[in-house]
């Protein structure tokens, strides 16, 4: 068998005695499909991260390196105040980090959750992937692991995050927060809280989750060898209950990658979204033949059917470099994501309207 590739179009060429038979890689009625790889797709307007990741791929680097280095840029730049150090303090005023990286070639995952006092969350997740037989490490012991791997321990608190917390705690009387069925009334005062008397219930509290109080950088990438990777990094929801872990470090929720199909990543209300594994669902929908856009729509609609007020988005990338996205709950604001691939001279920002 001889593989023939012309100007990013491909098909397989079988030569047999007396005839030439062309077989098309994808079971579609098109001749040879355009392949937009290498490619990077990133949630939101995180341009610098996208450009860094694509530069890695353009220089022949692997998808895993692209994800790690691209997400690291957002951690350093503190994208939207919701990625990296110095943002989204928890109820105690501490910033903690979640991150995940997944290798679609091996189906291996490395992730950290509620990581304390280490800035490079995505790189610690990469070390979990490459230097342990585990998938997720959490909390203080994830910090211990990071230090053992040579990472520098330092505070993730900044004057900005300290001021955010002081205003929330002292001026806003701890409003809003994430407590239910506790006393004193969490809608009126700060804790410490205890379980409310039997029979008390109030499930009508609406906690607004949007781009600027909980966001994630989610990235998916395909390198020149067709290997696929996905990753996430976030500092979680503002004023979360200490110890809270969102969707970002959960494989299949925050991100998922499979070389045989493609990859997906999600962003938004993680406490709700992780219950539906939207990234896994999007990849499986593509496996069943859905386009990336259709796959992302299915994943978002599955959540909205149960939680019509949730805010979130899913980005899907097929192994041939075709991509799409869907979102919900952003009102009149479209959801932006950034793409850079072999067909483009530079990155482009694409916006999709939400359901």
Q: Which residues are catalytic?
A: 216
**Phi/psi at 230 (5° precision):** -145, 155
Q: Are 200 and 68 in contact (CB under 8 A)?
A: no
Strands ordered across the beta sheet of 335-341: 136-138, 108-115, 97-103, 228-234, 217-222, 39-43, 335-341, 348-352
**Which helix (H) or strand (E) element contains residue 147?**
helix 139-148
Q: Give the integer Cα–Cα distance in Å for 115 and 139.
A: 5
Neighbours of 232 (CB within 10 A): 34
- Beta-bridge partners for 340: 40
CB burial string 198-227: b at 16+ within 10 A, e below: eeeeeeeeebebebebbbbbbbbbbbeebb
Q: Give the integer Cα–Cα distance in Å for 114 and 243.
A: 6
Neighbours of 237 (CB within 10 A): 21
Beta-strand ranges (E) seen in 143-250 are: 182-183, 194-195, 217-222, 228-234
Q: Are 110 and 182 in contact (CB under 8 A)?
A: no
Dihedral of alpha carbons 15, 21, 22, 23, sign: negative
């Amino acid at each position: 068998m001889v593989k023939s590739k012309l100007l990013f179009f491909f098909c397989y060429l079988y030569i047999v005695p007396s005839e030439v038979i062309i077989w098309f890689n994808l079971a579609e009625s098109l001749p040879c499909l355009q392949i937009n790889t290498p490619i990077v797709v990133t949630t939101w307007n995180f341009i610098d991260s996208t450009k860094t990741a694509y530069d890695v791929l353009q220089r022949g680097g692997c998808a895993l390196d692209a994800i790690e280095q691209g997400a690291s840029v957002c951690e350093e730049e503190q994208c939207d105040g919701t990625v990296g150090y110095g943002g989204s303090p928890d109820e105690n005023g501490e910033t903690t980090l979640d991150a995940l990286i997944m290798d679609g070639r091996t189906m291996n995952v490395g992730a950290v959750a509620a990581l304390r006092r280490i800035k490079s969350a995505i790189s610690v997740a990469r070390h979990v992937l490459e230097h342990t037989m585990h998938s997720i490490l959490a909390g203080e012991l994830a910090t211990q692991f990071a230090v053992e791997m040579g990472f520098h321990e330092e505070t993730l608190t900044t004057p900005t995050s300290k001021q955010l917390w002081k205003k929330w705690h002292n001026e806003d009387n701890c409003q809003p927060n994430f407590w239910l069925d506790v006393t004193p009334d969490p809608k009126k005062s700060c804790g410490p809280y205890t379980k409310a008397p039997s029979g008390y219930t109030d499930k009508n509290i609406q906690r607004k989750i949007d781009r600027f109080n909980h966001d994630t950088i989610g990235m998916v990438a395909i390198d020149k060898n067709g290997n696929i990777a996905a990753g996430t990094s976030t500092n979680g929801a503002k004023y979360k209950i200490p110890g809270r872990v969102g969707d970002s470090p959960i494989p299949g929720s925050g991100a998922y990658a499979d070389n045989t199909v493609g990859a997906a990543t999600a962003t938004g209300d993680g406490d709700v979204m992780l219950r539906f594994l939207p990234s896994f669902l999007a990849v499986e929908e593509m496996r069943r033949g859905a386009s990336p856009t259709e796959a992302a729509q299915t994943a978002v609609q599955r959540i909205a059917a149960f939680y019509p007020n949730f805010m979130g988005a899913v980005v899907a990338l097929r192994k041939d470099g075709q991509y799409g996205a869907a979102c919900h709950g952003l009102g009149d604001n479209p959801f932006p994501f950034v793409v850079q691939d072999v067909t483009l001279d530079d990155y482009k920002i694409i916006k999709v309207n939400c359901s």
